[in-house]
Amino acid sequence: MKILVTGGAGYIGVHTILALVNEGYIPIVVDNLSNSSIEGIRRIEKLKNTTIKTYICDIRDAEYLSQIFSENDIQGVIHLAGLKAVGESCSDPISYYDNNVSGTLVLLKTMEKLGVANLIFSSSATVYGNPKTLPIKEDAKLFPTNPYGQSKLMIEKICQDLANKTKLASKNAWKIALLRYFNPIGADKSGVVGEDPKGTPNNVMPYIAQVASGKLERLSIFGNDYPTKDGTGIRDYIHVMDLAEGHVAALRWVLSIKPLISECRAINLGTGSGTSVLELLSIFEKETGVKVPYVYSLRRSGDIASCFADPSLAHSLLGWKASRNMAQMVSDTWRWQEQNPSGYGE
Ligand code: NAD
Ligand code: UFG
């Protein structure tokens, strides 16, 4: 079964491709390579001894996208393509709404035109904003605090409207899973693919890995005065391969829904436990034996104290549960970092 993966060359994309191949699906990649390189896909081809059809295409290019759908018998779409840097979204909101929202509209129009109605969308825990209660359930208030998060929420609403439109019997009833990711980290245990941020990393895990490898001098911990156990921010870190397997579980669920029934469900993908920055550092040092120098600095604007999921819906609906622990997340990150000090290289 052929599954189109937009953004398939990116960090979550390559791991999702791997999970799809592991489960016998045929992924077809569409990516404009604006934040990735083709090397990750090439490495999976080598690892799995297969070829992965890859189109260098911007999802806003309606003509090319239609052609790709027409050339391939696509049964479903995993839509990961988009811009994801919170800070950049505040300084350049138009690019975020254009890429994420307009890009998704082009994709949805193409899918509707060609009768493909099975969609998995990568949303984010950022749609919850600063949560009132923890752990966060899917019915919590949605209150994104930046244009990136707004763009994710807008797409969720568009998807919901599409599914409502076809609530009555229709030949191509939409079936949509809106996956709200918490904090994906780590890499496949092979060490051949991983996170390769351009420039200085924004996220804590790749930052720690680059400090440990000597590329960066020290970690700045953004705030030690949060109302948490040690004053540093708490997040629900999830192994990227667990996340990738969550996409396959969501795909199976979507494909199992009767043709005339439409569905659109938001589903958290997290582990359900929170880890502070200091705890993450200490697990990293224990697993790798490498000391990571750090300093405390001011809180990062827009950050929240704590965020972790109630992942029970994913378990009951998709039969999926994260299985890899923090030790695996950091040791897999470190294997990738050590084997690929310059990422995929350019
Ligand atoms: P990434 O930047 O590594 O991957 C995104 C991919 O999409 C890149 O390969 C990029 O080249 C491609 N892309 C961007 N705009 C495109 C366009 N218009 N047309 C075609 N391709 C385009 O990011 P990632 O971490 O793999 O994230 C994947 C998705 O998951 C994103 O939508 C992101 O918002 C979402 N997400 C990520 C995180 C995270 O922490 N990594 C958390 C929550 C949600
Ligand atoms: N942090 C530091 N120093 C750094 C980077 C981060 O102390 O150099 C801290 C942050 O303050 C926070 C924690 O580490 O307490 C995690 O920060 P990340 O930047 O790794 O992750 P965020 O939770 O801020 O955001 C990430 C993605 C968002 C996504 C969100 C929820 O960047 O796009 O997870 O999925 F929306």
pLDDT tens readout for residues 134-168: 999 999 999 999 999 999 999 999 999 999 886 65
Identify the active-site residue in 97, 128, 148, 237. Answer: 148
Asked which of 48-57, 159-168, 232-241, 245-254 is least confident by mean pLDDT, the reply is 159-168
Give kind and range of the element (H or E) at residue 242.
helix 240-256
Question: What is the predicted pLDDT for the residue at 89?
Answer: 94
User: Is residue 9's pLDDT more than 60?
Assistant: yes
Determine the atom of ligand 2 nearest the C-alpha atom of 126: 36
Q: Which of the four pLDDT bands, split at 50, 70 and 90, describes residue 302? A: confident
| pLDDT (average), residues 46-68 | 98
User: Is residue 63's pLDDT more than 60?
Assistant: yes
Q: Are 284 and 334 in contact (CB under 8 A)?
A: yes
CA of 122 to the centre of ligand 1 (A): 9
Select from 41, 43, 46 the least CA-distant residue to 5: 41
User: Is residue 346's pLDDT more than 60?
Assistant: no
Question: What is the predicted pLDDT for the residue at 165?
Answer: 80
Q: Are 246 and 314 in contact (CB under 8 A)?
A: yes
Q: Which of the four pLDDT bands, split at 50, 70 and 90, describes residue 259? A: confident
What is the percent of the chain with per-residue pLDDT over 90, rounded to a whole number? 95
> Which residues are near ligand 2 (CB < 6 Å)?
84, 86, 124-126, 181-183, 202-204, 207, 219-222, 233, 235, 277, 300, 303
SS3 117: coil
Question: What is the predicted pLDDT for the residue at 340?
Answer: 96
The full set of domain ranges for the chain reads: 2-345
CATH topology classification for 2-345: Rossmann fold (3.40.50)
Asked which of 123-132, 157-166, 313-322 is least confident by mean pLDDT, the reply is 157-166
12 touches ligand 1 (CB under 6 Å): yes
Beta strands in 98-141 (DSSP E): 118-124
What is the percent of the chain with per-residue pLDDT over 70, rounded to a whole number? 98
Q: Phi, psi (5° rounding) for residue 199?
A: 70, -155
**Contacts with 13 (C-beta within 8 Å, 6 or more apart), sequence order:** 5, 7, 29, 31, 36, 40, 80
Asked which of 13-22, 28-37, 170-179 is least confident by mean pLDDT, the reply is 170-179
Q: Are 59 and 275 in contact (CB under 8 A)?
A: no
The CB-side HSE value for 283 (13 A sphere, CA atoms) comes to: 18
Q: Which of the four pLDDT bands, split at 50, 70 and 90, describes residue 260? A: confident
In the numeric block, the tokens 């405390």 are attached to: 296
| pLDDT (average), residues 301-327 | 97
32 touches ligand 1 (CB under 6 Å): yes
Select from 245, 223, 70, 86 the least CA-distant residue to 150: 86
Q: In whole angstroms, what is the distance from residue 165 CA to residue 148 CA?
A: 26
**Averaged pLDDT score across all residues of the chain:** 96
Q: Are 136 and 309 in contact (CB under 8 A)?
A: yes
Asked which of 55-69, 153-167, 234-248, 261-275 is least confident by mean pLDDT, the reply is 153-167
User: Is residue 101's pLDDT more than 70?
Assistant: yes
Encode pLDDT of 169-182 as tens digits. 567 799 999 999 99
Select from 115, 57, 81 the least CA-distant residue to 5: 81
User: Is residue 41's pLDDT more than 70?
Assistant: yes
Look up 296 and say whether it is catalytic: no
| pLDDT (average), residues 106-118 | 95
Q: In whole angstroms, what is the distance from residue 210 CA to residue 201 CA?
A: 9
Q: Are 31 and 7 in contact (CB under 8 A)?
A: yes
Exposure letters 253-289 (e unless 16+ CB within 10 A, then b):
bbeebeeeebbbbbbbbbbbbbbbbbbbbebbeebbe
Question: What is the predicted pLDDT for the residue at 215?
Answer: 95
